[in-house]
Structure 1
């Protein structure tokens, strides 16, 4: 009875919040905007790993190694180093699409608005945009700019402040002229914003955003307490059948990607990595062990202690997918969703692993994430090796974490399996 009351309490608190977050057009556009950029980010990350392959600098000459890195450098420079641009285009596109407008113009007006706000000065050279302003460092400004520009563009279109072309004009030409006035008005507003900020102590919108918003939020997101809260919420939302990763990532991804980018730049320049908590910390050492909740440990346990037919069949079904971090068969087949018997290990295990991983890196036992984005389907051990900049300690840490999760899940899976076994036995005797 107490268990049911607790479940009802959680349901009343969490479900309305999750529903609002899932249906929020801005968070949805933010999430989908990152999805637009993801293939490019992964491509760049793969070549960062290849360019910094372990021991290669000891095998070939220094000049050959430098030439090798210079040859592969454009792969990351054209993707990871300007990832903010792709996210901005994606957000503007998706938000405009949500309103039923011309999505392509929503994407390009977001990009142009951001570039207007971006100072085109590097040192004493004018007409040059530093790539740091186009990467994760400029992403906070880019996100706000994309939201506002898409809304302004929609507003002017809805006011019918457009040029109507006569029938017979090619569709592409007609759409282009129709978008002319809304885009011009939107960009004019952003130009005015840039001019106004040039007369303030901040000088640029970038400095204002970084000082007032980005710096405090990034400091918060890089800490262990905020990360534990994020992990807890991810697990709780999933327990109620809601995609916790999407809901929470839509809020934390701008912070985690910024921290990730800082580590990547330090890694590429050979400096000490500044952050433990990054996007890849979450993706490799929590999600990259069988999916959300690290359910690869559950699959391994199934093969060790499983007696019931239901559990055994689930292990066969979920095993191959779990190796590549796809765990929907386990989440919905065990089930984990709305199952009070597994609530404790489902919530506890990721928190314990987060703490273990954090202090392993804080004490120097394991290198910090190098900033490369490892494809999310990369299997355990390989995943940890690549995420830490090709260090074996990352793979070993994943194995240790796997054993920890197995130990936490063992008694609960044993009880669940026993219940299924007895039910099957009873059904066969009837």
Structure 2
């Protein structure tokens, strides 16, 4: 078995390392993290405005008074992501990042219609629709930002710049240095937009949304795709690779878009369109003790296993595990390259996620509202906050029991194996 695992590791690890170090996936991850504090603030406002014990009148008043806290953060998340992509991609090429971010964001806006249709069918001009700066514009924003930042960096690297004398203040010199790359990059996007509007009487927002974003979010929000993603998270962690970072770099744009869709529906008092979203993945997978849902494992180790070393590891890992940090048990048990517990490590998250999806699809427990809950919030509290219902917390308790039942026989086998070895 160990020989097979070693050979498998030789095949898997180079690919996983390549994904983990990929320039574009790293930039995308950092761009979303740039938006994280802002989306967290918006989530707090949404939770405060919609507490279950408020009356409808109180909710309406709070949304009127405090609603801008959410509109200026989560509802325009694409702004922060596009700027972050431009900034971090430029920095990765050792090019001035602040101009890269500004140019990427401006390129996205060039492709964005400055009009919208009112409920009465009237065309209102000289305005931006919030949905194009949020969920609906996310994929176009990412594509535009990557392309704009690449163009800006390549032109800059070619030396097509205005170089000022040494006595000019640095801020002025940098502005002039960015002038030609900015003009050329923005001109490309202006011509693209002119071609789409002039020849096809359309806009790239609607084209990308219908052709790319809707199919991708539909696929990424499905149970099979989610289970595949979870399988790779667990599988990569088994070989000591941070599966969460590697897989989330690919899936986060989809899950975050689904989150924003749910949030907009929740604010409007409509049925939530998606079960799976970023809060679903964080609250009902990572939120149960970290990757692999190991809080139950830590408690079994601390209080039910016989060997002292397992008890000690369990008790040391219990504190971090409550806040969903589980590296102590991953490397202390260890879970990494431990063939005895490969089955529960992989199977438990798949079983629990399938169970949660079916329970929410049946309407027994409401899906997450789109509010972003920090992944470090302990079990029960995170479930209540994510779903705005005590049923979310209760579901986490049931999940905890399921994980414990799956893991317990394998931990007992491991405990006895150690006794025999010693």
Normalising by structure 1, we get a TM-score of 0.94
Unaligned runs of 5+ in 2: 118-122
Partner of 2:183: 184
Deviation of 1:169 after TM superposition, in Å, equals 0.9
Answer whether contact 2:297 2:404 (CA < 8 A) is retained: yes
1:314 and 1:71 map into 2 onto residues whose CA distance is: 49
1:103 and 1:310 map into 2 onto residues whose CA distance is: 49
Q: 1:122 aligns with which of 116, 119, 126?
A: 116
Partner of 1:300: 299
Partner of 1:109: 103
Deviation string, structure 1 residues 22-60 (Cα, Å, up to 9, x no partner): 1211111001111111111111111111110112117xx
| Structure 1 stretch displaced more, 8-17 or 122-131 | 8-17
1:201 and 1:393 map into 2 onto residues whose CA distance is: 49
Answer whether contact 2:302 2:313 (CA < 8 A) is retained: no
Partner of 2:155: 156
Closer, same or farther: CA 251–65 of 1 in aligned 2, 3 Å: closer
Partner of 1:26: 24
Answer whether contact 2:284 2:383 (CA < 8 A) is retained: yes
Partner of 1:48: 46
1:221 aligns with 2:259: no
1:373 and 1:147 map into 2 onto residues whose CA distance is: 25
2:8 and 2:362 map into 1 onto residues whose CA distance is: 36
2:196 and 2:366 map into 1 onto residues whose CA distance is: 41
Deviation string, structure 1 residues 178-201 (Cα, Å, up to 9, x no partner): 111111111111111100111344
Deviation of 1:422 after TM superposition, in Å, equals 5.1
Answer whether contact 1:293 1:350 (CA < 8 A) is retained: yes
Partner of 2:120: none
Deviation of 1:307 after TM superposition, in Å, equals 1.8
SS at match of 1:56: coil
After superposition, the CA RMSD in angstroms is 1.4
1:283 and 1:202 map into 2 onto residues whose CA distance is: 41
Partner of 2:90: 96
Deviation string, structure 1 residues 101-132 (Cα, Å, up to 9, x no partner): 11111111111110111111022221111010
- Size of the aligned set, in residue pairs, is 417
2:363 and 2:239 map into 1 onto residues whose CA distance is: 37
Deviation of 1:419 after TM superposition, in Å, equals 3.6
1:396 aligns with 2:394: yes
SS at match of 1:43: helix
Deviation of 1:202 after TM superposition, in Å, equals 6.4
SS at match of 1:402: helix
1:349 and 1:200 map into 2 onto residues whose CA distance is: 53
Matches within 5 A, 1:204-219: 204-219=203-218
Deviation of 1:383 after TM superposition, in Å, equals 0.6
Partner of 1:267: 266
Unaligned runs of 5+ in 1: none
Q: 1:66 aligns with which of 48, 60, 64?
A: 60
SS at match of 1:122: strand
Deviation string, structure 1 residues 377-396 (Cα, Å, up to 9, x no partner): 111001111111x2111111
Partner of 1:136: 135
